[in-house]
Homo-oligomer: A and B are copies of this chain.
Amino acid sequence: MTDPAPTPDTAADLPARSRREQIYDVAGRLFSERGYHATSMRDLAGELGMQGGSLYAHISSKEDLLVEIVQSAAQQFDEALFTLRELPLPADQKLREAMQRHIRVIADNMESATVFFHEWKHLSPAAYGRVTAWRDTIDTFYRDLLTQGIAEGTFRPDLDVKMAANLILSAVNWAYTWYRPAGSLTPRDVAEGYADMLLAGLRSPEVP
């Protein structure tokens, strides 16, 4: 929350970036593999070759780790999608681009994404509220995109916008459960494949 960005590295804030970031990285991995409550601070310290108590020279609390991980994931989604908002693209192309970016954020942050989807209920009320608000924002983004597409004539006029947004969000979010960065599919492959199916449908074209 209180990011020490303004002050550069001086003797005053010695504990240093690098170690702090290592801690957050390893915490993200352990939280995603074992869950927040099943990860002890001693587990975390052990992975970094230090004693449990030593962590507190770099961080303030266990919950702060969770808040930071979840928040930074949310921020990445935000950045990816909201630079898209006012782009002058037809709605179907914009949808393709949005899905691609959305999946890419997940693919590039599989651990944080898993923590985000599984552990956000353990946040303090304040952080919890922020995440809930953020979810609504993403939802609204996709609904607006669909509404725009209907107005344009790109999407069917009888589309149920709420349900279509749900379907799209299901597709992109669920990727955190199965996507493997080491596999052969790029986020672009997945997004294009999904978008093709969503836009044209699974049914065989009429052969008149």
Contact = CB atoms under 8 A, between A and B. Distances in A.
One complex includes copies of this chain to the number of 2
A187 to B, nearest CB: 13
Interface string A187-202: 0001001100111111
Given A34-B121, A35-B122, A174-B169, A156 B204 contact: yes
27 contacts: A34-B121, A35-B35, A35-B37, A35-B122, A38-B122, A118-B118, A149-B202, A155-B202, A155-B203, A156-B204, A156-B205, A157-B204, A159-B202, A160-B193, A163-B190, A164-B197, A164-B202, A167-B194, A167-B197, A169-B174, A171-B171, A173-B177, A197-B198, A197-B201, A198-B201, A198-B202, A199-B203
Given A155-B204, A197-B201, 4 more contacts: A35-B37, A170-B171, A173-B177, A198-B202
Minimum-distance CB pairs A-B, first 4: A201-B201, A170-B174, A37-B37, A163-B193
